[in-house]
Structure 1
């Protein structure tokens, strides 16, 4: 597989991986809404060992909706959050879907924290999830 590259707006902070994500998740929690400035966030999850992170980053640590610490890593120059880490999954890294170049990232396979979802956001129901590409919707 060709390399997937994710980076901040100015390009200073970058992650390169040749691995496939083990999950792509749409999250409706208030923390993701505030982090993105959008009604939900989408993250692709990889094994940290499959990623090469370069550039400078600053950290903002918050308590996630699950109660675990959630460390957002963002570019000190342009402010873009590119990735996050959590002690709940210390071997993994979540990468903001919008930070990837191109459009070959798989569609989300899960939708979580739907109790905080904006009522006007349409999330595919199980009959609209793509067979073999998306798993069941969770969080209802």
Structure 2
């Protein structure tokens, strides 16, 4: 569906980095197998999110957001593919670290 970068404080905390990068897929295109644990929260925008983690290593395996109920988001790093498609959207840029540059005129930017 899309690849996006999120600069919200929760994504910064969740990833331990300056932003999160995720790819969204229709729920019908994703098969979830194996054990996972869930952490739920309400984000800066006031909407619910559920993060699903590997119980062994703690990595985020996938997550879901109230505002996009028809999709699962999967962290791009989980694919371990440097050729993965580039982001087309950058959100919560008001929380973006000053030293971060998201390049490309094709980026749909959201404060």
TM bracket, shorter-chain basis: over 0.9
| Mapped pair 1:102 → 2:87 | no
For residues 125 and 50 of structure 1, do their structure 2 counterparts lie closer, same or farther at Cα, with a shift above 3 Å needed? closer
2:91 to 112, 120, 127: 112
Alignment partner of 1:36 is 2:36: no
Residues of 2 paired with 1:92 and 1:55: CA distance? 19
Distance (whole Å) between structure 2 residues aligned to residue 36 and residue 90 of structure 1 = 22
1:125, 1:137 within 8 Å by CA — same for their partners in 2?
no
What secondary structure sits across from 1:115 in the alignment? Answer: helix
| Unaligned segments of structure 1, at least 5 residues | 1-21, 127-134
Question: Rg: which structure is higher?
Answer: 1
User: More displaced, 117-126 or 47-56?
Assistant: 117-126
- Structure 2 residue aligned with 1:69, among 28, 48, 64? 48
- Secondary structure at 1:46 match in 2: strand
TM-score for the superposition, normalised by structure 2: 0.92
The two structures, once aligned, show a CA RMSD in angstroms of 1.3
Q: Are 1:91 and 2:70 counterparts?
A: yes
Are 2:87 and 2:107, in contact at CA under 8 Å, matched by a contact in 1? no
TM-score by length of 1: 0.74
Give, in angstroms, the shift of residue 125 of structure 1: 4.8
Shift of residue 52, structure 1, vs aligned partner: 1.1
Offset, 1:24: 0.2
| Alignment size in residue pairs | 111
Q: In the TM superposition, what is the alpha-carbon distance from 1:80 to its structure 2 partner? A: 0.6
Distance in 1 between residues matched to 2:81 and 2:95, nearest whole Å = 29
